[in-house]
Structure 1
Amino acid sequence: MKRIAVLRCLKSSSRCSGAGCLKILFNKDKVYSKYKEEDIQLAAFWTCNGCDDISLGDEEGLRRKIASMERSSVDVVHLSHCVFKKNTDGSEEVCPQVRAIVSELEKIGVRVEKGF
């Protein structure tokens, strides 16, 4: 069984229920579902700790979240589309705060993927 976590943006969480991410994750009929033939378990649905004027906790709180991913034996963390910011040329890149989280997750051996 594949243990999955979804990471989303704190700013977006003020206006998003996460229903779209969950719908995509559990809709086995969609061709784009990477887990169409696998059993999956949602191990975590979490937010970054924010940036700029919107912030949740501190560095220690974020470290506890990352440690929780390790303790929970998460196989892969999927980055919700809301953690990507559009550049002026239309390309997307992950925000700096989430980029730092990705780096920490990869250090403990957790695979990170964009979306689903």
Structure 2
Amino acid sequence: MKKIVILHCLRSVSNCTGAACLKAFNTKNSCFSRYGEEKMELEAFMACNGCKELQTGGMEGKREKAERILRIRPDAIHIGVCCRTRAEAQGRWCPEICGLAALFQSKGIEIVWGTHS
């Protein structure tokens, strides 16, 4: 069974229910289709601690969240599409999210850039 974590943007919670990410997960569509017939379990639906303008929990909170995710030992962390900027045509990934992704990847966890379309 694949243990999955979804990481999403704290800023997006003001207008996002998470329904599209969860529907894609539950129906194995979009970025979750890669798992085929293999069973999956959602271990965490985690928000970042915010960007410079919207920091919550500080470095201590960020470290604590990262440690909790590492204890779960997920097979993959899917980065929500909300973690991309809308201002650019291609949408660049948030630097805070990229930092978290690099940490998890350095611990051997697969990072999948995306959830739903």
Is the pair's TM-score, using the shorter chain for normalization, greater than 0.5? yes
Query: In 2, Cα distance between the equivalents of 1:76 and 1:104?
Result: 13
> Partner of 2:113 in structure 1?
114
Query: In 2, Cα distance between the equivalents of 1:31 and 1:57?
Result: 32
> Partner of 1:93 in structure 2?
92
What is the CA distance between 1:36 and its match in structure 2? 2.8
Query: In 2, Cα distance between the equivalents of 1:56 and 1:96?
Result: 16
Alignment gaps of 5+ in structure 2: none
What is the CA distance between 1:87 and its match in structure 2? 5.2
Richer in helix (by share): 2
Alignment gaps of 5+ in structure 1: none
Query: In 1, Cα distance between the equivalents of 2:14 and 2:86?
Result: 19
What is the CA distance between 1:66 and its match in structure 2? 1.1
Root-mean-square deviation over aligned CA pairs:
1.6
Query: In 2, Cα distance between the equivalents of 1:11 and 1:36?
Result: 31
Paired residue secondary structure (2:35): coil
User: Are residues 1:36 and 2:36 paired?
Assistant: yes
Paired residue secondary structure (2:4): strand
> Partner of 1:56 in structure 2?
56
Q: Which amino acid aligns with 1:92?
A: G
- How many residues align? The count is 114
- 1:17-61 Cα offsets, whole Å, 9 max, x none, are 111100001114x47622231100000100010013222111111
Q: Which amino acid aligns with 1:38?
A: E
> CA distance change for structure 1 residues 84 and 31 in 2, over 3 Å: closer, same or farther?
closer
Query: In 1, Cα distance between the equivalents of 2:21 and 2:57?
Result: 24
User: Percent identity of the aligned residues?
Assistant: 34
> CA distance change for structure 1 residues 8 and 31 in 2, over 3 Å: closer, same or farther?
closer
TM-score, normalization by structure 2: 0.88
TM-score, normalization by structure 1: 0.89
Richer in strand (by share): 1
Query: In 2, Cα distance between the equivalents of 1:23 and 1:5?
Result: 14
Q: Which amino acid aligns with 2:15?
A: R
